[in-house]
Structure 1
């Protein structure tokens, strides 16, 4: 089946008051697990490659091509998205370079910059990306857990302001907005508490879908409530890493003589698939 786009999946979810699961890929096993969950459930989702993941593989081309091939061969419609792009060269490669045939959307991350600079740079990227048919996500506010946003997700002034979000979307022309509403990246425990009233306020003022980053640390019921309040794309990454490493440790502790990586990566891949299946059940 041909790939679809993040924009089409988010629009379809929005029409039914649901959200799209957008799941981060680091290794090929991540991608295989995510695709397996989509196929088993018959549900579409977004596979995401962050700038950090691309750097881990020594550059964007091989891993993006591999994930694209997996997604394209699946019997369910999937989308491929580049997440948290900051490097201008990567943006150019995605918008008009060799990555353009492989992806349908990107998230440009200038959230750590002063507001005016964030607007200017994001508008420039969105204009260029739209000219090439790409769907563009941006971020406003400080979602915790990133090196360039070291402040707590609960500190005064870090959360997205509804009026500022409305102005930001109008000024930049982005297609979706990632918001800071209490979640943090890289949480390994599900103890985040979202401000659902704030989500609803932003959704009421902003004419584009809202995106929740750092969803691995959010409890199930909070995720459901976030979708009800207006979140339409839910990003998850660390939950898969926790599933993978928990499985790896169990396998190797049970039999320290194991050396064939297939013996420990196969159950770890299954654990990641199960984590994605659970997420899909929550999305409505």
Structure 2
């Protein structure tokens, strides 16, 4: 297979009431691990990279690895650029083979967000590339984007309807009380707001800040219309902690194939658990 647009995958997920997990990957081993998990569980998969990871690894290396994975896989795989504010970088990623992009202008007034999102949609639509945008401000830290708790704002349901209508965006990430990073306590998710947004908006909704949300809350979000859940911090932390543990137990084993294999298994196990949680197993 080749990399596919996430639009039909997410449209089907919302229609059938399950969620697809989008995993932020930073290394080849992380990418391989989530692909193996998707194959094993027969789950559709969204590989996701932040702007920081794009700068760290390079667009061509990321796309090359994702395309190689998609070619060998029997499940559909999409490649998504997460939280990008740079229109030119979005164009580069689309030209290079990304099948989904997020234009994040949520820090600007509604009119500016509409204008920039519409600009990306006009380019992406012709190529069948999915476009995600955000309304409201999700708190926490995502790469170099930092939104303090007092600056986080929830999305207005009626604004969400207008936004989708005005932009033609194919997926929407409304701020509903989740946060990027690991929660200090229970996340304060506004389920009523999700329901009100879902009533007005037919496109798939995206749950940002998916790391560490209690299982029952994830399932409720998915049942209300969240067709995509992003998992970044939890996966990254599991990968790194497994390396720390390996070196504490095997300080003299400096073979990357040894410690990376262990980290890869850890990531794969977490990916399998998240896919089962969102209900996308056996949906490929």
TM-score (norm 2): 0.92
1:65 deviates by 1.4
CA contact (8 A) 1:19 1:232 kept: yes
CA distance in 1, matches of 2:163, 2:170: 11
CA contact (8 A) 2:170 2:204 kept: yes
Could you list the runs of 5+ residues in structure 2 that have no partner in the other structure? 280-284
CA contact (8 A) 1:188 1:238 kept: no
* 2:49 alignment partner in structure 1: 49
Match for residue 165 of structure 1 among 155, 160, 174: 160
CA distance in 2, matches of 1:261, 1:191: 37
Q: How does 1:143-158 map to 2 (within 5 A)?
A: 143-146=138-141, 147-152=144-149, 155=150, 158=153
Distance 1:134 1:254, change over 3 A: same
CA distance in 2, matches of 1:166, 1:193: 23
* 1:279 alignment partner in structure 2: 274
* 1:3 alignment partner in structure 2: 3
CA distance in 1, matches of 2:60, 2:148: 33
Higher relative contact order (CA 8 A, sep 6+): 2
CA contact (8 A) 1:14 1:232 kept: yes
**After the TM superposition, which segments of 4 or more aligned residues of structure 1 sit over 4 Å from their partners?**
none
1:156 deviates by 7.7
Alignment: residue pair count: 277
CA distance in 2, matches of 1:191, 1:264: 33
Distance 1:268 1:110, change over 3 A: same
RMSD: 1.7
* 1:35 alignment partner in structure 2: 35
Deviations 1:193-240 (A, max 9, x none): 311111111111112111011101311111001011111111111121
Specify the SS of the correspondent of 1:33: helix
* 1:210 alignment partner in structure 2: 205
Distance 1:265 1:191, change over 3 A: farther
1:21 deviates by 1.1
Deviations 1:109-164 (A, max 9, x none): 11112221111111111111112221111111111113444221xx4870111011
Specify the SS of the correspondent of 1:139: strand
CA contact (8 A) 2:130 2:170 kept: yes
Deviations 1:66-121 (A, max 9, x none): 122112211222122222222222122134x3x1xx22221111111222111111
More displaced, 33-42 or 13-22?
13-22
Specify the SS of the correspondent of 1:46: strand
Q: How does 1:188-227 map to 2 (within 5 A)?
A: 191-227=186-222
CA contact (8 A) 2:137 2:151 kept: no
